[in-house]
Amino acid sequence: MATPDTPTPLTASAPAAADGNTMSRGLTLLFAIAGGTAVANLYWAQPLLDFIGRDLHASIASAGWLVTATQIGYAAGALLLVPLGDVLDRRRFIPGMMLCTALALIACALAPSIGVLLAAATLLGLTTVSGQLLTPLAGDLADDTDRGRVVGTVVSGLLIGILTSRTISGLIADAAGWRAIYFAAAAVSVAFALLLRRAIPPLAPKVHLPYPQLLTSVWQVIRQERAVRWTLFLGGTAFGVFTMFWTALTFLLSAQPFSYSVSAIGLFGLIGLAGALAARHAGRLHDRGRSMPATGWGWAAIAASFAVATFAGRSVAGIIAVVVLLDIAVQGVNILNQTRLFAVAPQARSRLNTAFVTCNFLGGAVGSAAASALWAVGGWKAVTLTGAGLACVGLLVWALGSRGPLLPEQNH
């Protein structure tokens, strides 16, 4: 296995690092908000599955594939488009992708059938990669001693976008129908494209590689670095159980004894904000050299969340407690994983982020599909028991992997 100091194909082909001290607090906040609005596009449909299914005369199972289709498209976009952040002018590339997202959102809003909406949702996922381009860019612009905090803040913005998307979607759908949220999101995407075109500082491409070689270099570092494979597995598993929980929660709250409206279901996303805000401090733990033990505690908390959820399916207070604990745990683990990966090869952060996001959202697609299948078989308990089992697997993999030398705690 290559050690963190051993040149990999990613670092060997790259010029000197371009890290600097240009990531101001204002720019960090803009990146966080813009990234959050971008990633929210993946989740507008999640609390509206029953609503959309009835409007388009489709079953809830068919509507449930909207989340899966969007995540599959997102994984493809992360794989095929995010690596270009290392070779293109991101001041033009990121706003350009946001404009493409706006077109996909309009296609979703105008979809006349569930089949067309599934295709448009896949295209939406494919183009909604701006947040995953902004995250490594933030890492490039931040100081070494402050990178964990900066990346943690930007990633927390993405997480807050995921969580608030459910609330915003439910409220707008109740007031103006589910199509209105896609039209509104398209307008927001255009606005942030214009803002970022002015705010992103000039930054030359970090490496010059043909596109096929650019994609190949991602797999080279995965193959050579055991630590990267370990982190990608943990990330994909954590995001898979997270998406499985939230998809199943929509089914739970739509059915008896709750029978909540889409806006009420969306409000549960606001509960998760406490978790996202708390998880923001995970980046500081990385800066202080405590990334590895904090990751273990995060996995223990994920397992505990699903254990409690198994018995809390009829208690609103219990569900709220689970949402808070699970969000703190999963988001903290996510930030720690991502920040550690950025320490492997500073000149290839977009490509490392490609591997990370692709694995995460493939895991998310499997998780959302599993939620539908498990719900049909055994309802809430089938979902939560499976989540608890997967969390125990993640905890075991963390324990086995953390025994040997892995990634540097920080890149000073």
CATH of the domain at 55: 1.20.1250.20
What share of the chain in percent tops pLDDT 70? 90
Rounded CA separation 295/274 (Å) = 19
pLDDT attached to residue 329: 92
Residue 254 lies in a domain: yes
Mean pLDDT of 279-287: 71
Q: Is the pLDDT of residue 299 over 90?
A: yes
Identify the domain containing residue 329 by its residue range: 22-401
CB of 265 closer than 8 Å to CB of 250:
yes
More confident residue, 194 or 203: 194
Q: Is the pLDDT of residue 348 over 80?
A: no
Residue 260 lies in a domain: yes
pLDDT band at 183; cut points 50, 70, 90:
very high
Residue 12 lies in a domain: no
Mean pLDDT of 317-338: 89
pLDDT attached to residue 127: 93
Q: Is the pLDDT of residue 410 over 70?
A: no
Among all chains, which residue has been given the structure tokens 């397992």?
Answer: 303
At a CB cut-off of 8 Å and minimum separation 6, what does 347 contact?
10, 11, 14, 15, 17, 18, 86, 206, 207
Range name among 175-184, 275-284, 285-294, 377-386 with the lowest pLDDT average: 275-284
DSSP track, 43-85: STTGGGHHHHHHHTT--HHHHHHHHHHHHHHHHHHHHHTGGGG
Q: Is the pLDDT of residue 205 over 50?
A: yes
pLDDT attached to residue 412: 38
Q: Is the pLDDT of residue 16 over 70?
A: no
pLDDT attached to residue 34: 95
Residue 226 lies in a domain: yes
pLDDT attached to residue 75: 79
pLDDT band at 279; cut points 50, 70, 90:
low
Residue 5 lies in a domain: no
Taking the CA atoms of residue 352, residue 358, residue 360 and residue 366 in that order, the dihedral angle to the nearest 10 degrees is -160
More confident residue, 348 or 70: 70
Residue 245 lies in a domain: yes
Residue 13 lies in a domain: no
Q: Give CA separation, 328 vs 280, 298, 354, in Å.
A: 9, 8, 24
Question: How many structural domains are present in the chain?
Answer: 1
pLDDT attached to residue 242: 92
Give alpha helix (H) positions in 142-261. Answer: 147-176, 178-199, 211-224, 226-254
DSSP track, 13-41: TS-S----S---HHHHHHHHHHHHHHHHT
Q: What is the pLDDT of residues 106-143, one digit of tens each?
A: 999 999 988 899 999 999 999 999 988 998 888 888 88
At a CB cut-off of 8 Å and minimum separation 6, what does 57 contact?
114
Burial of 399 per CB tally in 10 Å (0-12, 13-18, 19+): exposed
Residue 411 lies in a domain: no
Q: Is the pLDDT of residue 204 over 50?
A: yes
- CA-angle at 271, arms to 266 and 276, nearest 5°: 110
Q: Give CA separation, 161 vs 26, 89, 140, 260, in Å.
A: 18, 25, 22, 22
Q: Of 2-6, 69-73, 195-199, 210-214, give the range with the top mean pLDDT.
A: 195-199
Written as six digits, the tokens of 110 are 């105008």
3-state DSSP helix/strand/coil % of the chain, to nearest 5:
80, 0, 20
